[in-house]
Amino acid sequence: MIGLSSTISVAFYAIATISSVSAECTRDSLLAAANSYIRAQTAGKLDSLSLATEGFTYQENNKIIDIKKGVINTPLKIDLNRSTADTVACASYTMLISTSGSKPYVLATQLTHKNDNTSSITMIDTIAATTGSLFFNAAQTLTYIRAENWTTLSESRRPSRDLLKKVGDAYLDMWTDAKAADTIPWGTDCERVEGSRLTKPCGGQLPRGGSAKNNGMRRYVIDETVGSVDVLCAFNSLGDMPDSHEIRVEDGKVKYVHTITV
Ligand SMILES: *[C@@H]1O[C@H](CO)[C@@H](O)[C@H](O)[C@H]1NC(C)=O
Ligand SMILES: *[C@@H]1O[C@H](CO)[C@@H](O)[C@H](O)[C@H]1NC(C)=O
Ligand SMILES: *[C@@H]1O[C@H](CO)[C@@H](O)[C@H](O)[C@H]1NC(C)=O
């Protein structure tokens, strides 16, 4: 009898432990945190953010700075927002476009959370493109992005996490690896929006090596439900440019590519 009851209590203990560790970082809680960030950026105020009291980092354009000096303190009228959630990394990605105001912005922001605790933001990591950034024209970008269809993919149309990571890496490797472009499953009707520049189909006019400098500092947010990988990086192959590359894969093929480059 003792053996049986201790087996049962061990089993209960295991279930309780698993749920207390993994239950918190859900899609909904990640998107709720992302929405608190959108509210903060709209207001230009930090009050709506639950920032980690210890070890919080604010990074803008690949440099760690005091959050009080960041673009987040500038109220922005947001014309478009779209967020994705990575329940494995416990992180989210948000794209924001603001066309009006004294300075237009296109922002690519990843939020990260430690210990699966989405009630606490450990890092805000933003690429902030504005007038003067590569191919920058927020109103034109807005037109292209608005026309896209980012509906949740049914299970059978979703890429694996592994494929999304490979596609994100292969894309950023094209400037240094002549063979990388051919490893990417380009969709025939795929669209590439680089800043405000549209290329269709997106598998045309691709780089095939030529640079000795790898695009580094890669930070990933992968969301299989919408087939998206976002990689923030330092675009070192052509200079040292803070950059975001987001790719959507549908039915195993690349459908959209967005780049936001400062
Ligand atoms: C974000 O976008 C959704 C539609 O995708 C919209 O309903 C919501 O109001 C937007 N939020 C803000 C703060 O603009
Ligand atoms: C999660 O973060 C919140 C806000 O910082 C904190 O109050 C709470 O204790 C944390 N929970 C865990 C399980 O660490
Ligand atoms: C978006 O794509 C879904 C699934 O492919 C489709 O059902 C829906 O009609 C599309 N929406 C628009 C506005 O084209």
Interval 36-52: pLDDT, tens: 999 999 999 999 899 99
What H or E segment, with its residue span, contains residue 182? none
Distance CA 64, CA 70 (A): 10
Residue 6 pLDDT grade (very low, low, confident, very high; cuts 50, 70, 90): very low
pLDDT above 90: percentage of residues in the chain: 87
Q: How many residues does the chain have?
A: 262
Distance 96 CA to ligand 1 centre (A): 10
Is residue 103 classed exposed, middle or buried when 0-12, 13-18 and 19+ CB atoms within 10 A define those classes?
A: middle
Whether ligand 3 lies within 6 angstroms of the CB of 156 is answered as no
Whether ligand 2 lies within 6 angstroms of the CB of 131 is answered as no
Whether ligand 2 lies within 6 angstroms of the CB of 114 is answered as no
Closest CA to 242 of 23, 1, 9, 61: 61
Whether residue 1 is predicted with pLDDT greater than 50 in this model: the reply is no
pLDDT for residue 101? 83
Whether ligand 1 lies within 6 angstroms of the CB of 43 is answered as no
Which residue lies with its CA nearest to atom 10 of ligand 2?
117
Which residue lies with its CA nearest to atom 12 of ligand 3?
149
- Per-residue pLDDT of 224-239, as tens digits, reads 999 999 999 999 999 9
Mutate to test the pocket of ligand 3, among 148, 151, 253 (most ligand atoms within 8 A of CB): 151
pLDDT for residue 24? 78
Handedness of CA 42, 46, 52, 55 (dihedral sign): positive
**pTM, to two decimals:** 0.90
Q: Which atom of ligand 1 is nearest to the CA of 42?
A: 13
- Per-residue pLDDT of 8-21, as tens digits, reads 444 444 444 444 44
Distance CA 143, CA 166 (A): 29
Considering every ligand atom, which ligand is closest to the CA of 83?
1
Distance CA 244, CA 70 (A): 18
- Tell me which amino acid residue 103 is: K
Q: Which residue has the tokens 């279930």?
A: 15
Whether ligand 1 lies within 6 angstroms of the CB of 73 is answered as no
Whether residue 197 is predicted with pLDDT greater than 90 in this model: the reply is yes
Whether ligand 1 lies within 6 angstroms of the CB of 42 is answered as yes
Considering every ligand atom, which ligand is closest to the CA of 151?
3
Distances (CA, A) of 251 to 146, 153, 171, 190, 230: 21, 9, 18, 12, 18
Summarize the confidence of residues 22-36 as an average pLDDT. Answer: 88
Which residue lies with its CA nearest to atom 6 of ligand 3?
151
Closest CA to 245 of 256, 259, 233: 259
Considering every ligand atom, which ligand is closest to the CA of 95?
1
pLDDT for residue 10? 45
Neighbours of 115 (CB within 10 A): 12
CB-hemisphere CA count at 13 Å for 90? 17
